[in-house]
Amino acid sequence: MAAESNTIAGIDLGTTYSSIAWVDSSGHVEVLPNSEGFLATNSVVFFDGRTAIVGREAAKAALLEPDKAAECFKRDMGRPYYNRKVCGKEMRPEVLSAIVLKKLKQDAERRLGTVRDVVLTVPAYFDDCRRKATQDAGKIAGLNVVDIINEPTAAAICYGYGRAAGADGEKIILVYDLGGGTFDATLMRVSGGNQFYTIATDGDVMLGGKDWDQRIIDYVVADFQRNVHADLRQDPPTYQELALRVEECKRTLSKRNSVTIPVAYAGRRLGVPLDREKFKQISSDLLARTQSTIELLVRNAGLTWNRVDALLLSGGSTRMAMVREMIAKVTGKEPDTSLDEDLAVAKGAAIHAASLRLGEGAAPDSGFQEATATKLAAIKHQNVNSHSLGVAALNRDRRLANVTLIPKNSPLPATRSQAFGVSAPNASVVEIKVLEGEAPLADGCIEIGTCRISDLPHGLPKGAPIDVSFSYSEDGRVHLRAIVRALKRGAFVEIVRPEGLTEHDLERQAQVVSGLEII
C-alpha cells in the first residue's frame, strides 16, 4: 500500500507491552506489527553502546546482561529516575519510554510513511505528574502528542466502535483493566455505542501482571531453596531467565489447570509444579485488592451490580482464570470477553485519534470515506478526574492540611476558583502547594508542585486577594490561572515541579534519544 502522509496513530504505552494502531480510510482499525513481526512490542530497552534494542530481542539480551537493560519503567513515571542504574547511569523513565515510542513510530512508518501525530494512552488512575511524564516521553521521541486518553476509555471506545451505532441503547459498563503493571476500574455510561461518559474511576498504578509473576517467582525460589538449598536470586541471569519462564507458565495456567516450571541452577535441575488453586492461593491478596476496588466503585456510584449491564475485560492479565471467576462470583454476571485484551487499548486510542483529526476541521480532506468520517465524528467521550485536586493550607493544629478544590470523579473539564491573600505588603510572589489525593493531610497526598504566582504589581497590601483558578482539562491535566482582583489583571502563574522536566530538559533529552540508533 502507498504510504500515507500525516497519519495519526494511537499508541498503548504499556508497562510490559506496547502497541501502535491506526484507522484506515475505510474505517478498519489496524494494529501495526513491529519490524520483528509482532503486534505487541515488549517495553524493554537494552543498551548496546549507541544502539538501543527494544522489544523481544531486548528482553532476551537482558537475560545475560541485566545491568544494560531497563523494563517496567512505566511504574516509575512521574519520578525523577528509573529505580536502578542502567549501564551504570541514572536514567529518566521518560527517556526510556521515549525510546520505546520511537521504536513503535519507526516500525509503523515502514507501512504508513511519516507518523508524527499520536494519541497516547495512560492508566485512568495516573496522576498529573505521571500524565505529564507520558506527554514528555512523546515529545522526547519527536512525536506530537495530540491527546492522552485513559486506557479503560480507549478499551470502551474500541468496544463501541465494533458495534452498530445505536444498537445498544444506553448501557452502564464496568471496564476491569488489568495490564502488566497497572490496574484500572472504570464505570461508564455508554450511549448508542459512540457516546462514552465516565461515571467514576479508581485503581492502582502499582498492581499488575508483574506482581502475579513475582508471586510465582517467590514460590519457585522458596521451593528450590527448600529442596536444593541454593538461592536462585544470587545469580542474576538465572533469576532473569526464571522471570521469563514464569511469565510463560502463568499464561499456560490461563489455558490449563497445572504446569511444571523447570529450573536449573548450581548443577541441579528441578521441575516445580504449580496448579491454578495454588496460584490463586499465593496471589489471593492481589486479586482481593482488585475485588474491593470494583465493589467500592459501584457502591460509591450509588449503583448495584444489577444496574451494571456489561463487564468489559481489558489488559492481558484478565486472561487469568482467577480474575474471570472472581468477577462472575462478585457480580453474578459473566464478563464480556469480546474485546481483544491485548490490543483493544491501542485500537481505541487509534479510533479516538482519527476522531480528533475530524474534529480539527480536516473532514473534507481527512482521507476517510464518508461513512467512516460520519461514524468517527459521532464519537464523544467525557472523562472524570481520578484524584481530588487540592492545595496545602495550615489547619487549626498548625499542620499542613489538604483542602480539596475539585473532588475526585468530577466530570471534566472542571474548574474551581479560590482566593489567596498575599502574605506581606509589596510581595511580588505567592506560592501555593498543589496536591492530588484524598488524604486529609498534605503529606498523605501527591505534591504536583508549587503554584507560583509571580510578577505581582508593586504596592499590593498584605492580604490583597489573588483569584486562582485550578482546572482539570479533559485529558486529566492540571492548569492554573491567576488574577489580581483589585486590578482585574492576570498574573504570571506556573507549576514549579521539582522533579519534572523543563522545556529545556526536554530538548536536551530529545537530542540524546535522536543520537541513538533504535532497533
Q: Which residues bind ligand AMP (CB under 6 A)?
A: 14-17, 179-180, 209-210, 247, 250-251, 254, 315-317, 319-320, 342
Residue with cell string 503486534: 39
- Tallying the residues shown for the chain, one arrives at 519
Name which of 63 and 427 has its Cβ closer to ligand AMP: 63
Residue among 453, 452, 432, 422 nearest 389 (CA): 432
Q: What's the min distance (Å) between Cβ of 315 and ligand AMP? A: 4
Q: What's the min distance (Å) between Cβ of 343 and ligand AMP? A: 9
Name which of 38 and 81 has its Cβ closer to ligand AMP: 38
Name which of 44 and 464 has its Cβ closer to ligand AMP: 44
DSSP state of 324: H
Name which of 16 and 293 has its Cβ closer to ligand AMP: 16
Name which of 179 and 390 has its Cβ closer to ligand AMP: 179
**What span, in angstroms and rounded, lies between the C-alpha atoms of 186 and 297?**
8
Q: What's the min distance (Å) between Cβ of 279 and ligand AMP? A: 10
Q: What's the min distance (Å) between Cβ of 16 and ligand AMP? A: 4
Whether residue 44 contacts residue 69, with contact meaning beta carbons closer than 8 Å, is answered with yes
Name which of 93 and 180 has its Cβ closer to ligand AMP: 180
292-295 long-range contacts, CB within 8 A, separation 24+: 293/183, 293/185, 293/202, 293/203, 293/204, 294/174, 294/176, 294/185, 294/327, 294/330, 295/330
**What span, in angstroms and rounded, lies between the C-alpha atoms of 513 and 519?**
13
Pairing of strands 7-13, 17-23: antiparallel
Residues 6 or more apart whose CB falls under 8 angstroms from that of 219 comprise 272, 274, 278, 282
Residue with the CB atom nearest ligand AMP in the bound state: 209
Q: What's the min distance (Å) between Cβ of 316 and ligand AMP? A: 2
Name which of 210 and 497 has its Cβ closer to ligand AMP: 210
Question: What single-letter amino acid sits at 110?
Answer: R
Say whether 517 sits in a helix, a strand or coil: strand
Q: What's the min distance (Å) between Cβ of 212 and ligand AMP? A: 7
Residues 6 or more apart whose CB falls under 8 angstroms from that of 209 comprise 16, 178, 179, 180, 181, 247, 250, 315, 316, 317
For every residue of 348-412, DSSP letters joined together read HHHHHHHHHHIIIIIGGGS---HHHHHHHHT-EEE-B-SS-EEEEEE-TTS-EEEEEEE-TT-BS
Q: What's the min distance (Å) between Cβ of 326 and ligand AMP? A: 14
**What span, in angstroms and rounded, lies between the C-alpha atoms of 262 and 270?**
6
Q: What's the min distance (Å) between Cβ of 45 and ligand AMP? A: 16
Q: What's the min distance (Å) between Cβ of 337 and ligand AMP? A: 12
Name which of 176 and 224 has its Cβ closer to ligand AMP: 176
Name which of 202 and 342 has its Cβ closer to ligand AMP: 342
